[in-house]
Structure 1
């Protein structure tokens, strides 16, 4: 029997990393054996936008903001608030429908030292995808494959996707979302609204789904560190710390509905 399409594409996307870094092979082979029964409160895919609309300084702000968030005492406190006091995290980049990269494989964060170690690894990342279309659908498929291949016993499965644009390649996002949510996954979004002021409404309408799903807003890339910190605390704790959503501006609903369904 052939593997599902998204798993075959997931394997192809990992192939360059395996060639470039043999230690990834050893880690991938050893982790399921050593950690198969390790319970975690959350398995979290952090999906970072690396499409053509993101320049080097903007990517650096995402990378730095994410690292800064894991050094934040409130994020560490949120991790410690769960029954197992640990979560599993992987970091990916995404762009076009077939353009995804695993930057940091699954790793356990179980306290201040683990959070700092992850932050240091994030700080040291080099961008792997330099340009490409914006395929939120492809990113979600790839992240979902990673979630279902994770070697931990996770109480919750969550995709945390950051982006600054609408899906413009691949299948309709809402169709992909429906299939993923049906598998028990929650999809949260961080909409960076510097170029598309109504992007958060698009994310709410087409992208997010599952238990307690929500959208966080960054006004621009400089605001990303604040937004990702707030978002991580909320999704790790699974409690609503946000103010009620602002009412839809006049004409915004029509703008969203008139946008490309993809």
Structure 2
């Protein structure tokens, strides 16, 4: 039975027109509903955005990730981008993954998703609303297919500076991918110790963890490890 995300405040809204359509038809039981959340605030330039999205696509196509995703009961995936507290948009709506083709099509969609430049209220502010981003992920989980576990996978390169720092859920695991560490000079927006900040403010739920990418060139590697780790423990538990 699906575990509902709870504890959401009223502040999170998806502002891209049409993204809050009704729950997808044909929802079915699965072992994991996983939401990928990508930071597109001002600290992420266009080159870094492409490295992030194309790196995620490469991770989804990796043989070890495909093997983990396609073993046992199906998984369901969705993805969105986020910036300030009022700025989130769905990049890929819920899809139950039943074949390598499903994963490849999702990878293609993320690799080609255009970075949002505005919403009905005007240009995106470029600020970093971590708590609002989590709340938006919780809203998306509320209409996920029936799954035994729910996970939000939040990736970013900065601490919160817009709205609440976090949102707490019941029965939802929140993992993080921190783009930080020993960064080249052009990564002046990155925060040393971001992984620790995520551990203190973002991580929650059973088995929650944070991984660190050493710059956006390292994003594909970190995301591949992260996705495989998110799928594998459930397979061992099922066995």
Question: Normalization by structure 1: what TM-score?
Answer: 0.76
Long gaps (5+) in structure 1: 19-23, 240-262
Deviation of the 1:197 alpha carbon: 2.2
Between the two structures, name the one with larger relative contact order (CA 8 Å, sep ≥ 6). Answer: 2
How many residue pairs are counted as aligned between the two chains?
A: 214
Q: How well do the aligned residues superpose, as a CA RMSD in angstroms?
A: 1.9
Whole-Å Cα distance in 2 between the matches of residues 5 and 40 of structure 1?
Answer: 24
Cα contact 1:6–1:142 (8 A) shared by 2: no
**Segment drifting more, 190-199 vs 52-61:** 190-199
Q: Do 1:50 and 1:131's aligned partners in 2 also have CA atoms closer than 8 Å?
A: no
Residues 168-196 of structure 1 show CA distances to partners (whole Å, capped at 9, x for unaligned) of 111232xx2xx31xx20000000000422
**Corresponding position of 2:156:** 163
Tell me which residue corresponds to 1:17.
17
In structure 1, the partner of 2:197 is 202
Corresponding residue for residue 3 of structure 2: none
**What residue is the counterpart of 2:179 in the other structure?**
192
1:49 aligns with 2:39: yes
Greater radius of gyration (CA) = 1
Higher helix fraction (1 or 2): 1
Match of 1:72 among 48, 51, 62: 62
- Partner Cα separation in structure 1 for residue 89 and residue 106 of structure 2: 17
Taking structure 2 as the reference length, the TM-score comes to 0.83
Listed one character per residue, the Cα deviations across residues 57-77 of structure 1 (whole Å, up to 9, x for unaligned) are 000001101111111111110
Q: Which residue of structure 1 aligns with residue 108 of structure 2?
A: 120
Provide structure 2 residue ranges, at least 5 long, that are not aligned to the other structure.
Answer: 1-6, 118-123, 184-189, 235-239
Aligned partner of residue 39 in structure 1, secondary structure = coil
